[in-house]
Amino acid sequence: MQNQHVCDELLAKYRAHYGREPEALAYAPGRIEVLGNHTDYNEGYVFSAAIDSGTFFAAAFNDLGVNRIVAGDLMREVAFPLAGAKPVQGEDTWANYVIGTVAGIAARQPQERGIDAMFLGNVPMGFGLSSSAALEMCTAKAVCALRGIELDDVTLAKIGQAAEHDYAGCSCGLLDQISSLCGQYGKLVKTDFRSLRVETVDMGPSVCFLMCNPHVKHALVDGQYNSRRKACEDAARHFAAVLPHPVAALRDVTMAEWEAHKAGLDETAAKRAAHPIGEDERVLEGAKLLERGDLEAFGQLLYASHESSRTLFENSCQELDDVVAVAKTVPGVLGARLSGGGFGGSVVVLVRAEAANDAAVAIAAGYAAKTGKSCDVSRIQPSQGATVLRKP
């Protein structure tokens, strides 16, 4: 099992803290966004992948009438009631991801007994790899296994999303949770955010990814995000009025239609709309390329995606642009783009597996030479999604 050392450490800490073995154990990975930027709220398509690091969650029933959760790295315990739990304030806000997930499950089947739980993970922090979704989904898998509840992946993802919204205060979509649940080794997760239909697309073992973190602070992310989303919604209303077919979101508009009718929008709104429209077409084209095994052409779509982010959506920044520019010069690299919401964050690089280690060194060195600053680079392999490892 991957990350066995993390699992072993968790089990040892669980036994030492609670004095017994857990009855249920689950694992869930973090995720990367590969292609399809700002398409989720435009009801479009996204390519993502579960990664080869994640979080383990161990649990057993108690008869104390409360739930207890321990963060295995901090060895701090938080107790919360079986019903009506409120978000934690102060230094233990990490518990809110667990509390919200447990509350979401309890809303579907009320708890009769408390649980003693502990989690531990190894998702690299600061890369935008969604350690929060990994925690939510391993919590959901373990608690459902412990209590004998069967819920489908979409329901589990929505429980995790509600935990983010209502307990952690983050208005996320479903991408992170779905990716964590549905990943498979060597495959990308392709999600349709209108139907929530999920399928996996094979990449094979010849390639992997590098995540490059140049330590860019997110500036005015909420305001920037909201302005981009409003521009997309305004553009969708414009196209709904001028096109002869129904338009519920930008997913329903082609680039040809955008070109023919963009004159009715102001210049900024037209540019913003072009990005998710183009991203949808790149994801669909990428699926065809992967089916043919054309990884070089797929990599070019990542470069095109980044250029669209840089010039049309304007959600990149100089540091991310510099990482992409350096990556283009490195042997074995097939493509690179910003990953996630933008305005900072990280760059995902598609690279041939045999060249990955040398490429990681070259990108870090090239970025340092270009900017005088450091860039952390981590190798990532598309991997298996969330799974139950032990149940009563």
Residue 171: is its pLDDT beyond 80? no
Say if 69 falls within a structural domain.
yes
237 and 334 share one domain: yes
CATH number of the domain bearing residue 350: 3.30.70.890
Q: Smallest Cα–Cα separation from 379: which of 154, 194, 209, 149? A: 209
Residue 1 banded pLDDT, cuts 50, 70, 90? low
258 and 153 share one domain: no
Structural domain count, the chain: 2
Alpha carbons 242 and 240: distance in angstroms, whole number: 6
Residue 218: is its pLDDT beyond 70? no
263 and 370 share one domain: yes
Q: Which residues of 54-76 are buried (b: 16+ CB within 10 A; e: fewer)?
A: bbbbbbbbbeeeebbbbbbeeee
368 and 224 share one domain: yes
State pLDDT tens for residues 305-359.
Answer: 999 999 999 999 999 999 999 999 999 999 999 998 888 889 999 999 999 999 9
Average pLDDT, the chain: 95
Q: Give the model's pLDDT for residue 321.
A: 97
- Alpha helices of 31-123 — where are they, by DSSP H? 95-106
In the block, which residue shows the tokens 């518990």? 95
Say if 40 falls within a structural domain.
no
Alpha carbons 37 and 156: distance in angstroms, whole number: 23
Q: Smallest Cα–Cα separation from 48: which of 139, 171, 164, 157? A: 157
- Strand locations in the chain (E): 24-35, 45-62, 66-71, 76-81, 114-121, 187-192, 197-202, 207-216, 333-339, 345-352, 376-380, 387-390
Whether the full predicted model's pTM is greater than 0.85, yes or no, is yes
13 and 143 share one domain: yes
Question: Which residues, other chains included, contact 391 with Cβ-Cβ below 8 Å and sequence gap of 6+?
Answer: 23, 24, 145, 146
Q: Give the model's pLDDT for residue 75.
A: 97
- The pair phi, psi for residue 344, each rounded to 5°, is 130, -170
Furthest-apart CA pair in the chain: how many Å? 69
100 and 195 share one domain: yes
Active site residue 322: no
CATH number of the domain bearing residue 74: 3.30.230.10
146 and 228 share one domain: no
Residue 220 banded pLDDT, cuts 50, 70, 90? very low
Residue 229: is its pLDDT beyond 70? yes
Alpha carbons 236 and 272: distance in angstroms, whole number: 11
DSSP state of 378: E
Say if 45 falls within a structural domain.
no
Q: Smallest Cα–Cα separation from 369: which of 316, 329, 310? A: 329
Amino acid symbol at 91: E
Say if 263 falls within a structural domain.
yes
232 and 298 share one domain: yes
Say if 43 falls within a structural domain.
no
Residue 247: is its pLDDT beyond 90? yes
Residue 59: is its pLDDT beyond 60? yes
Please identify which of the residues 40, 153, 176, 280 carries the catalytic annotation. Answer: 176
161 and 236 share one domain: no
Say if 354 falls within a structural domain.
yes
Say if 39 falls within a structural domain.
no
For the chain, how big is the Rg over CA atoms in Å? 22
Alpha carbons 14 and 140: distance in angstroms, whole number: 18
184 and 262 share one domain: no
How many C-beta atoms surround the C-beta of residue 307 within 10 A?
15
Q: Which domain, by its residues, includes 221?
A: 208-380
Residue 271: is its pLDDT beyond 80? yes
181 and 214 share one domain: no
Question: Integer distance in angstroms from the first to the last C-alpha of the chain?
Answer: 20
89 and 216 share one domain: no
Residue 222: is its pLDDT beyond 70? no
DSSP string covering 276-328:
HHHHHHHHHHHHHHHHHT-HHHHHHHHHHHHHHIIIII----HHHHHHHHHHH
Say if 178 falls within a structural domain.
yes
Beta-bridged to residue 234, according to DSSP, are: none
Residue 204: is its pLDDT beyond 70? yes
DSSP state of 63: S
8 A C-beta contact, residue 22 and residue 119: no
Q: Give the model's pLDDT for residue 327.
A: 98
